[in-house]
Structure 1
Amino acid sequence: MRWWKMLGLAGIMGVAATGVVIARAERRRRAYTPEEIKARLRERVVEGAPPHE
């Protein structure tokens, strides 16, 4: 039964690591000002638009 404990501990560590990664990404995403977000979205639209002929 000892391997069940190790498996459970590994699962808990995996969930904790995933939470850390998600929290870090969320902090990075929220660091942008609304103006920066709008500018980046406009750049993406321009890059994705087909060229005018």
Structure 2
Amino acid sequence: MRSVWKWVGLAGVVGVAAGGVLVARDQRQRNAYSADDVREQLHRRYADAQARGTEGAGDRP
């Protein structure tokens, strides 16, 4: 029975390590954008939202 718990613990450690790798990769991707890139993307999203108008405005509280 102890062997089962060892495997469960090992699987937990591997899962945490894999999660850390994913977080680090995501952070590197976010840091790859310059401030101008982020600003341009936000302005583009805002313009798209304005073009759609108030569609779906009642969906949020």
* TM-score of the superposed pair, with normalisation by structure 2: 0.80
Aligned length: 51
Q: Report percent identity of matched pairs.
A: 39
User: Considering only aligned residues, what root-mean-square deviation do their CA atoms show, in Å?
Assistant: 1.2
Structure 1: state its 5+ residue gaps. none
SS in structure 1 opposite 2:28? helix
Counterpart code for 2:16: V
* Consecutive aligned runs of 4 or more in structure 1 exceeding 2 Å deviation: none
Shift in Å, 1:10: 0.1
Question: Is residue 46 from structure 1 mapped to residue 47 from structure 2 by the alignment?
Answer: yes
Which position in structure 1 is the counterpart of 2:22? Answer: 21
Structure 2: state its 5+ residue gaps. 55-61
